[in-house]
Structure 1
Amino acid sequence: MNREDLPQVLNWRNHPDVRQFMYTSHVITPEEHARWYARMSCQEGIWLLIFEVGAVAKGFVNISRTRCQHVADWGFYLSPDSEKGTGKLLGRAVLEYAFDELGLHKLCGQALGFNERSIRFHERLGFNREGVLRDQHCDGNGFHDVVCFGLLSSEWRCGNRQREGHQ
């Protein structure tokens, strides 16, 4: 991601279909978005990525190392007008990047408990549910569970071989 991507990523982030599943669900201003980008883009251990299909931007991915340099959290969202199947492509590309390029041992994710689509998505990618943080998030209207996921590099590699038809 670079500065030129900011307007498009902000439009995706502020779309109601995306925003409803975010920890901060208010409409982000361009100034707030620019401050976030300035703060995040200069930190070591954070990768802000644009996912493209056929050279067309289709999604945003954030990978952030945790306290351990071989473990990271990820977050993502797609362009609201992305074609069916784009999420699957994004997920596989991110896992390949995280484990093969960055050499991570583990990738972690979270989904708000009411975001069934994201929960199913993580599970289809091979993530394991590692816990539920009960009533962890308050959106101003109520409290919501946060479902925590983790995927080890060894699990991904094993699952990848099975998907490719290897023994």
Structure 2
Amino acid sequence: MYTDHVIAPDEHARWFAAAVIDPTRRYWIIEADGQGVGLANLYDIDTADRRATWAYYIADPSQRGRGVGAMAEFQVIEQAFGALGLARLACEVLETNPAVIKLHKRFGFVETTRLVGRATKDGQPVDAIGLELTADAWAEAEPAMTERLRGMGFPL
């Protein structure tokens, strides 16, 4: 999330109304232990250029660090390169979140850019790191990530 402001109900309603009709977006609720704990999404889906951008957010702090984000990442990547037939998948991560940057790199993402002042946290600008994954890089990384997630107890 790129800002700290409290999102009002009317702002949520406007976002949701636009999101459900936008063909360039897909959303999934992330569940753990039978509860919704976050959201994953693809956006700016461009089927002609076969690319999209993705993001996820684990809202429940008790679920962070348990592999829930890694499993969500696996599932979104599979949708992007499988069902949607994309060739490239991009994402941005705040530089203050090195654990997620490291996670993306395990999945085969490579750094492509630094977005200076992309976000504002506590009134201060924060850079974001742009990363990208190709379908070919995913084909190489997927077997190891499948085994890693299975080793964490996720059914794949």
**Pair in the same fold by TM > 0.5:** yes
Superposed CA RMSD: 2.2
TM-score by length of 2: 0.80
1:134 correspondence with 2:116: yes
1:99 CA displacement: 0.9
- The whole-number CA distance in structure 1 between the counterparts of 2:3 and 2:107 is 25
Instruction: Between the two structures, name the one with larger relative contact order (CA 8 Å, sep ≥ 6).
Output: 2
Partner of 2:53: 73
What secondary structure sits across from 1:24 in the alignment?
A: coil
- The whole-number CA distance in structure 1 between the counterparts of 2:5 and 2:77 is 29
- The whole-number CA distance in structure 1 between the counterparts of 2:96 and 2:35 is 30
Partner of 1:36: 15
- The whole-number CA distance in structure 1 between the counterparts of 2:106 and 2:13 is 34
Partner of 1:85: 67
Which consecutive residues of structure 1, in runs of 5 or more, have no partner in the other structure?
1-21
TM-score by length of 1: 0.75
User: Identity of paired residues, percent?
Assistant: 28
- The whole-number CA distance in structure 2 between the counterparts of 1:78 and 1:144 is 20
Which consecutive residues of structure 2, in runs of 5 or more, have no partner in the other structure?
148-156
